């Protein structure tokens, strides 16, 4: 049964809740994966009737002495931080096979175990969901008014003049999406984010694999990823940036470290979109890297509100990352995927969404309302180069703009208005 101290604050509903509930109806086990402290345990507890916490000493002892006891109780049964005892994966698989009933287990994990072989046997029994930090709407930032689902179904947007000013956007970028930090001012949350960064670089990475790389070099790489967020960047570029601290650092080692950060869900890559082109342009294939939360990226850069207020270029990159973050959350709820697009003619689309029915949509991201017209033009031009049928919609998402229909399937709205 659930522990009395399993929840210390009121639960804030998450977009992922509906997906968890839906998958529990059809799958034997649902696996919630995401960065530490993003809210996986709280969300899982909302859907579980029995809970076991593998980071508790008593539970770990029980797992060693009698693992079968962790599979008993009223389902769904939560196995929190299951990766601390990887053999549990196969125990759960066998239990699901024997039962044949859906909704038996919820597994949560903040890292991917190094031994991936045991995880391949989950096909047909486990469904994975990537959980991220909270979106602007989940945090209560802004005014809901534009639904991604409604846009994908062809519904028009309702014009609105409600908009955020630049200082409010900066404040939202510096406000963490980690549930435990909701309500904290950016300066207070910054201390926790700095501690989080230290824990990653000094402890978490080395739990996955023993490296000969110093923590300060890993921190520098995270800072470099933050500096290049929303941009195509090579491992060699990242290595070159970090050689000020480690002169012999290779691109191969950087690739290995980035892979470890991905296993910790600290870094997320957005792949390049692949499609037929109407021109002779060639597609760029490099992914873009985003850190798990824009406020964490700002902390890695040591950027303050005063810094970003004077540096709209950096604020713009962080804002693009914030939009991609929220699109990833809402797209997952629709079974959609998020990509980026760039061709050899220099045409770009910041985000392309592909939907289960084969449709697609394009999104241009601009920090300020004054960039809406130029953003709409470049988006139309780039979309015209893609031979994949007419898009479901094209959108310019802004920080300080308004909500409006721009005609010809194009809309614009601020991130503060976007919801599931």
Kind and range of the H or E run holding 291: strand 288-291
* Averaged pLDDT for residues 321-336: 98
Question: Which pLDDT score, from 0 to 100, does residue 121 have?
Answer: 61
Q: At what angle do helices 312-333 and 16-24 cross, to 10 degrees?
A: 20
Q: What is the mean pLDDT of residues 90-119?
A: 85
Tokens standing for residue 360: 């697609």
The predicted model gives 62-83 an average pLDDT of 92
Average pLDDT over residues 181-189: 88
Q: Which of 132, 195, 138 is nearest to 321 (CA)?
A: 132
Instruction: Say if residues 353 and 363 touch (Cβ distance below 8 Å).
Output: yes
Residue 63 is predicted with a pLDDT of 83
Distance CA 109, CA 119 (A): 13
Angle (nearest 5°) at CA 302 between 300 and 305: 120
**For 37-52, how does the pLDDT look when each residue is reduced to its tens digit (9 = 90+)?**
999 999 999 999 999 9
Element (H, E) at 168: helix 166-174
Angle at which helices 235-242 and 251-263 pack, to 10 degrees? 100
Task: Quote the tokens at residue 97.
Answer: 């096979």
Q: How far apart are CA 113 and CA 110, in angstroms?
A: 10
- Is the CB of residue 87 less than 8 Å from the CB of residue 70? no
Q: What is the three-state SS of 18-43?
A: HHHHHHHCCCCEEEEECCCCCCHHHH
Distance between CA atoms of residues 153 and 194, nearest Å: 41
Q: What is the pLDDT of residues 241-283, one digit of tens each?
A: 999 999 999 999 999 999 999 999 999 999 999 888 887 778 8
Q: What is the pLDDT of residues 353-399, one digit of tens each?
A: 999 999 999 999 999 999 999 999 999 999 999 999 999 999 999 99
Residue among 34, 45, 317, 24 nearest 170 (CA): 317
Name the band, by pLDDT with cuts 50, 70 and 90, for residue 163. Answer: confident
Stretch (H or E) spanning 405:
strand 404-407
Identify the residue whose tokens are 């300020």.
368
On average, the pLDDT of the chain sits at: 92
Mapping DSSP to helix (H, G, I), strand (E, B) and coil, where does residue 153 land?
coil
Average pLDDT over residues 60-86: 91
**How buried is 9 (Cβ within 10 angstroms: 0-12 exposed, 13-18 middle, 19+ buried)?**
exposed
pLDDT at 5 exceeding the cut of 70: no
Contacts of 129 (CB under 8 A, 6+ apart): 16, 19, 20, 23, 30, 31, 32, 33, 332
Q: Which two tokens stand for residue 185?
A: 């001012």
Cα–Cα distances (Å) from 43 to 40, 82, 106, 129, 309, in that order, read 5, 15, 10, 12, 35
Rounded Cα distance between 315 and 165, Å, is: 13
User: How far apart, in whole angstroms, are the C-alpha atoms of residue 198 and residue 33?
Assistant: 21
Residue 310: pLDDT above 90? yes
Q: What is the C-alpha to C-alpha distance for residues 376 and 382, in angstroms, rounded to an integer?
A: 10
Tell me how far apart the alpha carbons of residues 382 and 377 are, in angstroms, rounded to a whole number: 9
- Cβ pair 222, 291 in contact under 8 A: yes
Q: Average pLDDT in the 69-84 region?
A: 94
Residue range 109-154, pLDDT digits in tens: 998 876 554 555 666 789 999 999 999 999 999 888 999 999 999 9
């Amino acid at each position: 049964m659930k522990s009395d101290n399993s929840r210390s604050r009121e639960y804030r509903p998450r977009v992922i809740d509906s997906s968890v509930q839906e998958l529990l109806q059809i799958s034997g086990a649902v696996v919630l994966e995401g960065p530490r402290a993003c809210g996986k345990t709280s969300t899982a507890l909302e859907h579980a009737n029995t809970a076991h916490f593998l980071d508790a000493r008593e539970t770990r002892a029980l797992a060693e002495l009698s693992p079968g006891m962790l599979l008993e109780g009223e389902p769904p049964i939560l196995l929190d931080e299951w990766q601390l005892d990887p053999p549990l994966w196969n125990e759960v698989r066998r239990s699901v096979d024997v039962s044949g009933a859906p909704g038996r287990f919820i597994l949560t994990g903040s890292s991917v175990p190094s031994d991936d072989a045991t995880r391949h046997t989950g096909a047909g029994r486990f469904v994975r969901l990537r959980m991220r930090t909270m979106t602007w709407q989940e945090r209560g930032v802004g005014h809901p008014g534009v639904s991604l689902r409604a846009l994908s179904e062809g519904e028009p947007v309702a014009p609105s003049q409600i908009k955020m000013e630049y200082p409010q956007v900066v404040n939202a970028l510096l406000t963490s999406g980690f549930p435990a930090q909701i309500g904290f001012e950016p300066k207070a949350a910054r201390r926790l984010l700095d501690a989080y960064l230290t824990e990653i670089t000094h402890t978490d990475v080395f739990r996955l694999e023993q490296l000969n790389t110093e923590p300060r070099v890993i921190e520098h790489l995270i800072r470099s990823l933050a500096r290049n967020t929303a941009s195509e960047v090579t491992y060699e570029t990242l290595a070159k940036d970090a050689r000020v601290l480690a002169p012999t650092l290779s691109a191969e080692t950087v690739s290995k470290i980035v892979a470890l950060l991905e296993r910790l869900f600290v870094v997320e890559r957005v792949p390049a979109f692949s499609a037929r082109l109407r021109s002779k342009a060639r597609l760029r294939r490099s992914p873009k890297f985003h850190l798990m939360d824009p406020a964490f990226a700002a902390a890695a850069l040591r950027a303050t509100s005063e810094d970003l207020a004077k540096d709209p270029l950096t604020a713009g990159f962080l804002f693009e990352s914030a939009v991609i973050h929220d699109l990833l959350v809402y797209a997952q709820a629709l079974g959609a995927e998020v990509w980026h697009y760039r061709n050899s003619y220099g045409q770009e689309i910041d985000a392309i969404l592909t939907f289960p029915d084969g449709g697609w949509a394009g999104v241009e991201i601009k920090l300020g309302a004054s960039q809406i017209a130029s953003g709409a033009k470049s988006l139309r031009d780039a979309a015209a180069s893609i031979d994949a049928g007419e898009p479901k919609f094209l959108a310019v998402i802004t920080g300080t703009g308004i909500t409006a229909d721009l005609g010809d399937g194009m809309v614009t709205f601020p991130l503060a208005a976007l919801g599931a």
